[in-house]
Each structure stands twice: as C-alpha cells, then as structure tokens.
Amino acid sequence: MKKMIPTDQTFAVAAAKFAALGSEQRLAVLNTLVRAGNDGLRIGTLGERCGITGSTLTHHLKILTAAGLVRQNRDGRSIICAAADYSEVASLSEFLLNECCADCVEGHDHG
C-alpha cells in the first residue's frame, strides 16, 4: 500500500468527518448503518435500533450526510432510508493508519 503524506487539505477534511462523529448518538447511528450493510435501513427501523427518532434523528443524519459518511434516499422531503458510505468510512480509517509507526525507532514499533 502506497503511503501518502497528509496535506493541510486532507487534515481539514478528516477533521470535519471526525467532528461529525463527535456525538455518541451520531456514532451510534453510523455504527448501526455500518452493521446494516449496503442497503442501509428505513428511517423508522434506524430510529428503533438507535433509540433516536424524529427531528433528532433527522438532525444527526443531516450532519453525517454533510460529512459524506452516510447516503440518504429521499422521496420528496421525506428520508426513506439511509446507508453508510463505506468508501468514506474506510478512507477515514486509512487516514488514521496511513503513517502508522512512521516515526518509530526500528524494532520498537507498535504494529
């Protein structure tokens, strides 16, 4: 795997995505959607599984969608279902691990 040197831009993008996960409820929503697979969940089912409903769930989905971590399917103004954007979630993980142990003294790495 080719390692990339993070730029200010990649740090800014990653920081925005991590900020979107800065709520236990949003992290629970994303985790529930990751567990659900590619098809995601209908909003009612998502709310039941997370214990979050109504405008609070809509608010959290809006933030996660703006960060690119969740995709939504809409019918007019209603959100029908949501799914994790696996490529974005994987990208965020790769950002953290990209330079794993890069500054370790040989023989003393943590990997």
96 versus 51: which is more confidently predicted? 51
Token pair for residue 72? 């939504």
pLDDT band at 85 (very low <50, low <70, confident <90, very high): very high
Alpha-carbon radius of gyration of the chain: 17
pLDDT given at position 3: 57
22 versus 6: which is more confidently predicted? 22
Quick: pLDDT tens for 34-64: 999 999 999 999 999 999 989 999 999 999 9
How many CA atoms within 13 Å lie on the side-chain side of 70?
34
Least confident interval from 5-9, 11-15, 58-62, 89-93: 5-9
> Taking the CB of residue 3, how many other CB atoms lie within 10 A of it?
11
Token pair for residue 74? 């809409």
Mean pLDDT of 87-103: 88
- Angle, CA 78 vertex, CA 75 and CA 84 arms, to 5°: 85
Instruction: Confirm if 104 and 98 have CB atoms less than 8 A apart.
Output: no
pLDDT band at 109 (very low <50, low <70, confident <90, very high): low
Q: Which CATH number fits domain 17-92: 1.10.1380.10, 2.40.110.10, 3.50.50.60, 1.10.10.10?
A: 1.10.10.10
**pLDDT above 60 for 31:** yes
Q: In what order do the strands lie in the sheet with 41-42?
A: 41-42, 78-84, 70-75
**pLDDT above 50 for 1:** no
